[in-house]
Structure 1
Amino acid sequence: MADQKSVVFLGSINMDVILRIARLPKPGETIAMTDFHTAGGGKGANQAVASARSEAITSFVGRVGADEYGKTMLNLLQTSGINTDNIKVDSKSVTGQAFILLQKSGQNSIIINGGANQKIKKQDIFDAKEKIAAADFAVSQFEVSMERIEEFFIAAKDAGVKTILNPAPAKKATQKLLGLTDLIVPNEIEAQELTGVKITDETSAKKAAVLLADKGIANVVITLGSLGAYCYTPTFKKLIPAFKVKVLDTTGAGDTFIGALCSVLENDLGNIREAVVYASRAASLAVQHLGAIPSIPMKKQIMKR
C-alpha cells in the first residue's frame, strides 16, 4: 500500500445544515433543537476529502451554485488538496444542501436539495477525460444523475481505469451501470434495495453479495455498521469486524470508509482485506466527531490507531 493512488470522483457537493435534536418529531409535533451549525458535505465531496486526507492524488468532477455556499465548498475542497479544475460554477442553480436531523443517539435522518448537483452535463464528463484517464479509480454515488455516472464509468473503462460505485442513497440501478462497475460498496439498506435481501448478519450479507456478483459485479463490499464489512471477491470472501468505539455522529462514516478504501486499494484489488481494515479504522474515527467533512481523519491519525 506504499505507492500513491490517484482517484477521480464524480459526485455531489453540498452544504450540510445540521440540526441537533433529542429525537425525531412525531407527525404534527413541534420540538426544539438543541444546536444548529453548518458543515461541508455531499457524498462526493466527503469521499474525495477522505481520499485526499489519506494522501491519494484526488480530483473531482461536479458543480456548485454561484452563491456563498459554492464559494465556501470550492475553497474547502481546494484547501483539502483536491483538484477542482473540473468543478463548474452553475449560475442558474443553488449549491446542493443537506438538512441533517441529528438525534441524541447519534443516528441521523437527511433531507437533500440537489441543486447544482443535478445539473451536471455530458460535456462536463468529456471535459474531465484527462483526469479520468490519469486515475487508478473512478468513484461515484447516487446523488448525481445515473446517466452521468454511466458516461463517467464508460470514460473510465475506455481508459482502463477501475470503477467503484457507492449506490447511495438507496435506489435501483440500471443493469448497464452495474455492468460497468468493478467494485460496488453499498451499506445493508442499499444492498437490500439492489437485491431484495434483508441483511442482518454475515449469512444474509453473503446471499446479497452473490446476487450482486450475478449481476456482473466481480467485487462487492457491503458495510454493516457496527457488525463490520462483508467482502466478496474472487479471492476473498469474509466478514471483517468493525472497530468498537463510542458513536457520536454517523454522518459521513460510509463516505469516509469509501474515500479511505480507494486511497490504499491496489489496482487488482489484491489487498482488499488490508484496505477494508484501513477504511474501517478511518470510519471508526469519523463517527466519534460531529459533522461529515470535519470528522474525516488524516492518514497519520488512522495509522496511529
Structure 2
Amino acid sequence: MSKILVVGSINMDLVTRVSKAPKTGETVLGEDFKQIPGGKGANQAVAMARLGSDVAMIGMVGEDSFGDTLLYAIKKDGVDISGIGRCSSKSTGIATIVVDDDANNSIIVVSGANFEMKKEDIDKNIKLYEDSKIVVHQLETPLDIVEYSLKVSKALGKTTILNPAPAKSMSDEIIKNVDYLIPNETELEILSGMPVKTKEDILLACRKMMEKGVKKLIVTLGSKGAIYVDSEGSKEFGVYKVEAVDTTAAGDSFIGGFTAAFSEGKPVEEAMDFAAKVGAITVTREGAQTSLPTLDEVRNFKGVV
C-alpha cells in the first residue's frame, strides 16, 4: 500500500458526558469523564493506520505528560511519529468535549503546541513527503503551514487532501493546491460564500470551489450521507443505519476510511462505501481515537444503508 502522510493537530480530548448540555449560566451534573487521545490530524492518521495503511505524521506536542501519552498512543497504533516535534513554550493541545444523551457534542479547542509548527518543521521532514503518495491536511494548525505544506506536496507531485475543519476562510493559494476537498455543509458554505440548503445549492458551491482549482469534492452530510463531485458530475451516497452513541471523530474516521481505500487504488464508489462503514462503526462508540475501528471490524460490519 502507498504511504500516506498526515500533517495536522494532536490533542488530548477531555470528554464529559451529560444528559443534556448546559445553557448559558446553567450548571449541570456530568455523568462521566475521560481523557482520550484526539486532534483531527492524529484521529485521521490513527484511523488510517488501524485500517492497514502505512502512515506517517507531522505535528507538534508540548513537553508535558499529555504529549508523552499522545505520542505513545499514536506510535502504538502503528503511525510513524518521527515527524512529530516537542514544543517547550506551549502545552500540548487540548479539546474540551461535552457529549449529551442524543450523541450530540460541543467542543472547545485550545491549540497550544499545534500552533507552534513552523515551515522548518516541514523542511526537515521533506523525506516523509518524498516517501508518500498522499498528503492529508486539516485546519487545526496555522494556515501558513497548511499553505506551505500543500505547495511542497504539489511540487513533489503528491495527491493532496484537505479537510477544511474547523471552518474558516482560506486563501486561493491554499485552495488551488487541493486535489480532494472534504468539507461538511457548514464548511462548504463558509468556503464558497454560498448557501447550501439544497442539493442544487451544494453542487453550485462545489462548482465554485472547482473554479478555484479544487479537483474533486466530497461533501459530508451527517445522517444524510455524502455527495461526491468532480468535473464529470456528482453522485450521492447514503449512510449505514446504526444507533449513534457519540459523533466525535465521525468526520475524521470517514476521511481516514476514504483515504485508506483510495490509497489502495479502489474506485471512488468503493472508497466512499468503505468510509461510510468506518464512520458508522465509529459513532457507535465513545471518544475520538478510542472509537476508531480496525480493518477486520470494517470487513465484518453488516450494516444496512
Question: Is the TM-score greater than 0.5?
Answer: yes
SS of residue paired to 2:80: strand
Matches within 5 A, 1:101-116: 101-116=98-113
Q: Distance in 2 between matches of 1:260 and 1:227?
A: 18
Shift of 1:244: 1.1
Provide the residue aligned with 2:292 in structure 1: 296
Per the alignment, residue 253 of structure 1 pairs with 250
- C-alpha distance in 2 between matches for 1:181 and 1:48: 18
2:208 aligned to which of 211, 219, 223 = 211
- Is 1:162 aligned to 2:159, yes or no? yes
- Residue 279 of structure 1 is matched in structure 2 by 275
Q: How does 1:154-193 map to 2 (within 5 A)?
A: 154-193=151-190
Match in the other structure for 2:25: 28
> 1:200, CA displacement in angstroms?
4.0
Asked if the contact 1:287/1:295 (under 8 Å) is kept, the reply is: yes
Offset, 1:235: 4.0
Q: Which moved more, 1:269-278 or 1:283-292?
A: 269-278
Q: Deviations over 1:31-61 (max 9, x none)?
A: 1111111100000000000111111110000
Give the secondary-structure state (helix, strand or coil) at the position aligned to 1:212.
helix
Alignment correspondent of 1:62: 59
Task: Tell me, in whole angstroms, the C-alpha distance in 1 between the residues paired with 2:183 and 2:175.
Answer: 12
Question: What is the identity percentage for the equivalent residue pairs of Structure 1 and Structure 2?
Answer: 34
- Secondary structure at the aligned position of 1:265 is classed as helix
What TM-score comes out, normalization by structure 1 length? 0.96
Tell me the alpha carbon deviations over residues 102-152 of structure 1, each in whole angstroms, 9 at most, x when there is no partner. 111101000001010000011000011111111111011010001001111
- Could you tell me how far apart the structure 2 residues matched to 1:130 and 1:180 are? 20
Amino acid across the alignment from 1:223: T
The answer as to whether partners of 2:61 and 2:86 remain within 8 angstroms in 1 is yes
Question: Which amino acid is 2:208 matched to?
Answer: L
Structure 1 unaligned spans of 5+:
none
Equivalent residues in 2 for 1:54-93, closer than 5 Å: 54-93=51-90
Change in CA separation of 1:266 and 1:35 when aligned onto 2, cut-off 3 Å = closer
Q: Which residue in the other structure is 1:51 paired with?
A: 48
- For residues 174-230 of structure 1, the C-alpha deviation after alignment (integer angstroms, 9 at most, x for no partner) is 110001111100011111111233334433322221121122111000000111110
- Contact 1:172–1:193, Cα closer than 8 Å, also in 2: yes
Distance 2:148 2:252 in 1: 22
Task: Name the CA distance, whole Å, in 2 between partners of 1:266 and 1:63.
Answer: 25
Aligned partner letter, 1:165: L
Whether 1:224 aligns to 2:236 is: no
Q: Relative to structure 2, which stretch is displaced further, 68-77 or 232-241? A: 232-241
Residue equivalent to 1:11: 8
- Compare 12-21 and 205-214 and name the one that shifted more: 205-214
Deviation at 1:253, TM superposition (A): 0.5
| CA 1:195–1:241: 2 relative to 1, 3 Å | same
In structure 2, distance between residues paired with 1:98 and 1:6: 28
Name the aligned partner's letter for residue 173 of structure 1.
M
Letter in 1 for 2:249: G
Tell me by how many angstroms 1:84 deviates.
Answer: 0.5
Q: Please name the residue that 2:259 is paired with.
A: 262
Please tell me the root mean square deviation across aligned C-alpha atoms, in Å: 1.4
SS at match of 1:100: strand
Gaps of 5+ in 2: none
Tell me if structure 2 keeps the 8 A contact 1:22–1:33.
yes
Distance in 2 (CA, whole Å) between partners of 1:178 and 1:299 is 32
Structure 1 Cα separation of the partners of residues 270 and 232 of structure 2: 13
Partner of 2:56: helix, strand, or coil? strand
Q: CA deviation at 1:236?
A: 5.1
Residue range with higher mean Cα deviation, 25-34 or 12-21:
25-34
